[in-house]
Amino acid sequence: MDENLEEQRAAGAPEPPSQPEGQAGPPSGAQVRRDASAGRDLYMNVRVLVTMMAVFVLLFTFVARVIVVSGPSMENTLWGGDLILVWSLGYEPKQGDIVVLTQESYQEDSIVKRVIATGGQRVDIDYGSNTVCVDGEPIREDYIREPMLTPGWGEGINHVVVPEGCIFVMGDNRNESADSRYPAIGIVDARCVIGRGMAVLFPFRHWKGL
C-alpha cells in the first residue's frame, strides 16, 4: 500500500483529505436510525399523554366528576370536606336524589341538596307539624338531622307547584340550609343540575353509597 501511495504522490495525485483532530466523522447509519427511533418514541409518548388528558377532561366534564362538600347543610348524610362522586351523563333529577347544582343568584360555587319535588308536583311545608308534603302526601324523611324550625328569613317559599323543567331542593340539615325555601335560591332550573351524588369517596370512614 505504501508503494501505491508513493506512486500517486509522484504522479501528482491529490492526497485524500485528512480528518481534523477532534472532529467526528459523519454519523453512521445505525446512529441515524437510533436518533429517528428516539424521535418517534418521544412523539408517541406525547401523543398518548395528550390523548389521555383529553379523555380525562371529557370524562370529568360530561360523565362524572368529584365534588368536595362545603358547609353543614346536608348533615348527617354528608359532612363538610366529604369527597363525593357525582354522575352527570344522561342524568335526570328524581325525587329523593342528592344532587349537585349551581345557582348563581345565590353563589358561584356549586351546592349539594336533596330533590324534594320535580316539575308538576306541589310542595307544602308545615313547620308546626314538621312535615313536608308532596302532592298532598307527607314524604318519609328519616334522613333529616332534626325537626324543622321556621327559618330566620321567614317561611319563604313553602307552598308551590314546581314548574316543568325545574326542581325543589332542601338540605337534610333543615335548620342550617339555604335551599329552595330561600328566595335567593328558590325553584331550580333542572339545567343547573350538574349531576347526582353517587357515593362518598373520602374520608374512608365516611365511605357509603348515596
How far is residue 202's CA from residue 81's CA, in Å, rounded to a whole number? 8
Q: Show Cβ contacts of residue 133 under 8 Å, excluding neighbours closer than 6 positions.
A: 122, 123, 124, 125, 126, 139
Q: Which amino acid is at 149?
A: L
105 is catalytic: no
Tell me which of 18, 28, 70, 73 is the catalytic residue. 73
User: How far is CA 66 from each of CA 55, 60, 70, 176, rounded to the nearest angstrom?
Assistant: 16, 8, 13, 24
φ and ψ of 50, to 5 deg: -65, -40
3-state secondary structure of 55: helix
Let me know: does 110 contact 100? Beta carbons within 8 Å: yes
110 is catalytic: no
Tell me which of 70, 94, 113, 208 is the catalytic residue. 113
Cell match 374512608: residue? 204
How far is residue 126's CA from residue 14's CA, in Å, rounded to a whole number? 111
Catalytic residues: 73, 113
